[in-house]
């Protein structure tokens, strides 16, 4: 009843969720049966009270899948730490060191020094072409994904769409809320926590 949901079941089968966010202060069990005898009584056995579900689903495919939810949560944590003075220098140093690995990884780890003039070096840089992704070896791609891609994910993010734990905005009222997740897989409804304390979860 606290979950404000209504589920239906036949005989001893597991109840299936049918309605969510029922706008009622109290809910009561309901039994439906076919009978031609008026006044026939029905007994309820093994009545169980079910509380609020604690394990909400991420809501994919309409929302981001579970791995993306965890990844975006880690990114948001790093970005918040970045705004703390004690963390800023360390994060900058680490990210810069990882970004500087792009050249050595793509070029096969060779750091050759050319004994040419500055003009010849400039010409070599202009004429040089970065290798296509298809030409990189498996070890190069693995190194880029493990060492460089996480830094790029922190800078640009991975998925800016709807995700559990992310912010969303109601078009009509303009209110913002945190997306908590959905009760069942494939559901088009989701649980929200509104920023206003007087607004209930819908």
Record the tokens describing residue 142, joined without a space: 């693995």
Q: What is the pLDDT of residues 23-69, one digit of tens each?
A: 776 666 666 666 777 777 767 666 666 555 567 888 888 889 999 99
Q: How does pLDDT run across 101-140, given as a tens digit for each residue?
A: 998 988 874 443 334 454 555 445 544 555 566 788 889 9
- What does pTM read for this prediction? 0.56
The rounded radius of gyration (Å) of the Cα atoms in the chain is 28
**Cα separations in angstroms, 63 against 21, 43, 141, 145:** 19, 42, 29, 24
> What's the pLDDT at 114?
37
Spatial separation of the C-alpha atoms in residues 68 and 53, rounded to whole Å: 22
User: Domain map of the chain by residue range?
Assistant: 91-156
């Amino acid at each position: 009843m606290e979950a404000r949901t209504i589920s239906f079941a036949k005989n001893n089968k597991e109840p299936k969720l049918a309605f969510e966010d029922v706008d009622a202060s109290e809910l009561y069990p309901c039994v439906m049966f076919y009978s031609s005898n008026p006044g026939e009584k029905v007994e309820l056995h093994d009545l169980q009270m079910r509380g609020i579900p604690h394990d909400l689903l991420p809501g994919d495919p309409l929302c981001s899948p579970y791995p993306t939810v965890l990844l975006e949560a880690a990114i948001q944590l790093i970005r918040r730490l970045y705004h703390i003075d004690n963390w800023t220098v360390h994060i900058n140093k680490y990210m810069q060191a990882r970004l500087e690995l792009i050249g050595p990884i793509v070029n096969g780890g060779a750091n050759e020094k050319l004994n040419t003039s500055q003009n010849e070096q400039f010409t070599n840089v202009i004429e040089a072409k970065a290798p296509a992704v298809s030409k990189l070896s498996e070890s190069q791609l693995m190194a880029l994904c493990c060492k460089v891609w996480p830094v790029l994910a922190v800078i640009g993010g991975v998925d800016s769409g709807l995700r559990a734990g992310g912010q969303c905005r109601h078009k009509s009222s303009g209110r913002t809320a945190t997306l908590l997740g959905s009760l069942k897989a494939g559901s088009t409804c989701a649980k929200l926590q509104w920023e206003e304390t007087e607004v209930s979860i819908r």
